[in-house]
Amino acid sequence: MRASLLPSVFILAAAAAAPSFAQSGSGYSIMQDNYSIMVPEKGYKPSKPEPWLAPKYKSPRGTVKHVVIPRSTTVPQPNVVTPPPMYVPETGRTLPNLPTVSGSGRGGAETFQDRSARCAHQAGVYGSAAGDRNSYVGSCINQ
């Protein structure tokens, strides 16, 4: 069985490796293509490219708008307040609070969300010195 399949496999491999042409007709050769759909019609003269400028803006009602540059304003420095140090009963240590940045509340006051984010950050900064992380964050928020 194998002996009869072996010659047919070689013939198929040779046929697959041979080049094939999709278009074969009279006057067609690989090196020169006489037919192209992109060739312009006879008697067609291509137009010369002209420089193009955008038209000037014309106001619909004839009004003229001027650019008004606002005057610079002085931005006040954010309030940096340091809350009092916090006593941690588990470790028996007093840990300083990190300075607060101007909060998002009215007048730059520290909101509950600002305080909870600061306390969670402090718990990560102090690590094991803060004791139980959850109790530290809770007591810091309620301070």
Residue-wise pLDDT for 68-107, tens only, equals 888 888 877 666 677 788 888 788 888 888 877 777 778 7
Q: Is the pLDDT assigned to residue 5 strictly greater than 50?
A: yes
Instruction: Report yes or no on 14 lying in a domain.
Output: no
Instruction: Report yes or no on 10 lying in a domain.
Output: no
Instruction: Report yes or no on 137 lying in a domain.
Output: yes
**Domain boundaries, position 131:** 86-141
The long-range contacts involving 13-18, CB below 8 angstroms and separated by at least 24 positions, are: none
Instruction: Report yes or no on 100 lying in a domain.
Output: yes
Q: Is the pLDDT assigned to residue 118 strictly greater than 80?
A: yes
Instruction: Report yes or no on 60 lying in a domain.
Output: no
Q: Which residues contact 65 (CB under 8 A, 6 or more apart)?
A: 59
Q: What's the domain count of the chain?
A: 1
Instruction: Report yes or no on 136 lying in a domain.
Output: yes
Instruction: Report yes or no on 29 lying in a domain.
Output: no
9-20 confidence digits (pLDDT tens): 778 777 777 666
Q: What percent of the chain has pLDDT over 70?
A: 76
Instruction: Report yes or no on 118 lying in a domain.
Output: yes
> Which whole number is the average pLDDT over 37-62?
75
Q: How far apart are CA 65 and CA 7, in angstroms?
A: 87
Q: Is the pLDDT assigned to residue 28 strictly greater than 50?
A: no
pTM of the model: 0.43
User: How far from chain centre, in Å, is Cα 54?
Assistant: 33
